Structure 1
Amino acid sequence: MMEEALKESDGNFMVYIHPSKANQISKAILRQFSSLLFQFNQTFDGVLLSYDVIETDNQVAKILPGIHPYFCVNLRTKLLLFHPKPNMLLEGKVLKLSQQSIHVVVLGFLSAVITEEDISKDFRYRIKHDKEFFAKKSDKRHRIEVGTFVRFSVKSFDKEMLHISGSLASEETGNLCRLNTNSKEHSHSNRKTKKRKECEGQLEIPEKENDTDHRNKKSKR
């Protein structure tokens, strides 16, 4: 699910700092990492969501010669990254919709669009009381409207624009709340069926011996 696109990563990095910041190394490091937040970074192979500087090594810091002399600080970090890939399942909130598309926000800052061709034919676009929504023909209580949290699959991810193209074509996509409800009902139904079969098995009555078998056993005695 959503967890597949999120990953924690331990990293060892070298940060170059201007000598004027030598007495504020921690602030200088945090400033550099903060400038990388919510952007796709090739080095990290993902969008940086958060970071935690665990340890810095100032002992190996050296002044590098040049017109702009910077010194290097080695540090160890723990990063939280986001990198959605095709066919992964993501979750987000519907911001707006029309017959042609559904617009979703993921993690509060990433935009995703699901176009008409990627919406299951089981969903029918409707307008009721001036309110637009998609309703599933096979499940009338399964609706998608503005404010709904949905689960969708990834078709593609634009790393530069941080834009996701999504799909609502598979059975495991749609209104998140309704999907969870159906999953619980299905699980409960399976447990009831299994329990019923177990009870039926316990009540099975062994077949009675026919008269011929009974006579044969008596004659052997």
Structure 2
Amino acid sequence: MEGLKLSNAELMVYIHPSKSGNKLKAICRELSSLLFQYDETFDGVLLAFDVTVKSKAAKILAGLSPYFGVKVDAKLVLFNPKPNSLVEGEIVKISPESIHVIVLGFSAAVVTDLDIREEFKYKMRNGEGSFVSMSHKRHVLKVGTMLRLQVESFDEEVMHIAGSLIPANTGCVKWLEKQSEEVSHMDREDRKRRKIA
């Protein structure tokens, strides 16, 4: 999935002197306070981290409450989907006007009817709505389906993605992967026939 990146960073983490007994625990607590929030410094939403203390020396900051800074090397997993990138998530709600998706368990995404390919038509079956492809009857989008969508925009403040299903490489992830496997299998068969002929 696009929008995820692994980043290495050298950070200075500031810790209250009362937490100096266990620096690693204090560092992890400080970084944990940044999880699942957009941070301009990291240019993304922090999803996970792994830190190692760079040196045992600490820089003491003067002031009313003298914090000390510890240098750490950190490996960060960040989420920042850019326009036109592809992300995947689970469909949680479908209506004739929109498809609502949860990406990575925390970010909401919506695809409005204006951004859904014309091949998909809304249908009601057994009281549940779904979008069914008119050109490929097995390509169905319903609640619980893993959906691949193209990012139109990402609102960092509320972690909301506006998405699109206009490109041909978007839709049900399982169906897209099966189609990709069939195409590669057909390509191999064509190559074999050419070698024989």
TM over 0.5: yes
Match of 1:9 among 7, 23, 26: 7
Distance 1:129 1:62, change over 3 A: closer
- Residue 74 of structure 1 and its aligned partner are, at CA, apart by 1.1
Instruction: Please give the root-mean-square deviation of Cα atoms over the aligned residues, in Å.
Output: 1.1
Q: What stretches of structure 1 move > 6 A for 4+ residues in a row?
A: none
Matched residue, 2:90: 93
Q: Distance in 2 between matches of 1:77 and 1:66?
A: 27
> Structure 2: which amino acid aligns with 1:106?
V
Give the number of aligned pairs: 197
1:185 partner SS: helix
TM-score, length basis structure 2? 0.96
| Distance in structure 1 (CA, Å) of the matches to 2:191 and 2:25 | 61
* Structure 2 residue 162 is the aligned partner of structure 1 residue 172: no
Which one of the candidate residues 30, 37, 44 is aligned to 1:46?
44
User: In structure 2, which of residues 77, 80, 88 is the aligned counterpart of residue 80 of structure 1?
Assistant: 77
Task: Return the alpha-carbon distance in structure 1 between the equivalents of residues 62 and 50 of structure 2.
Answer: 30
Partners of 2:74 and 2:141 lie apart in 1 by 40
Q: Deviations over 1:119-163 (max 9, x none)?
A: 000100001221211000110111000000111100000011110
What is residue 32 of structure 2 aligned with on the other side?
34
Q: Which region of structure 1 is more displaced relative to structure 2, 12-21 or 191-200?
A: 191-200
Q: Specify the alignment match of 2:138 in structure 1.
A: 141
Which deviates more from structure 2 when the two are superposed, residues 162-171 or residues 11-20? 11-20
Deviations 1:5-40 (A, max 9, x none): 111111111111112222222221111101001111
2:152 matched to which residue of 1?
155
2:24·2:53 contact (CA, 8 Å) conserved in 1?
A: no
The SS at the match of 2:93 is: strand
AA paired with 2:7? S
Separation in 1, partners of 2:186, 2:90: 30
Q: Where is the helix percentage greater, Structure 1 or Structure 2?
A: 1
How far is 1:64 from its partner?
A: 2.0
Give the alignment's TM-score, normalised by structure 1.
0.86
**In structure 2, how many angstroms separate the alpha carbons of the residues matched to 1:190 and 1:51?**
42
Give CA deviations for 1:55-78 in whole Å, capped at 9, x if unaligned.
24232x133221121111111111
Q: Give the structure with higher Rg (CA).
A: 1
* Distance across 2 between alignment mates of 1:74 and 1:192: 57
Question: Structure 2 stretches of 5 or more lacking a match?
Answer: none
Q: Which runs of 5+ in 1 are unaligned?
A: 201-221
Match for residue 102 of structure 1 among 94, 99, 103: 99
Work out whether residues 53 and 70 of structure 2, in 8 Å CA contact, stay in contact via their aligned partners in 1.
Answer: no
Aligned counterpart for 2:181 among listed residues 180, 184, 206: 184
AA paired with 2:121? R
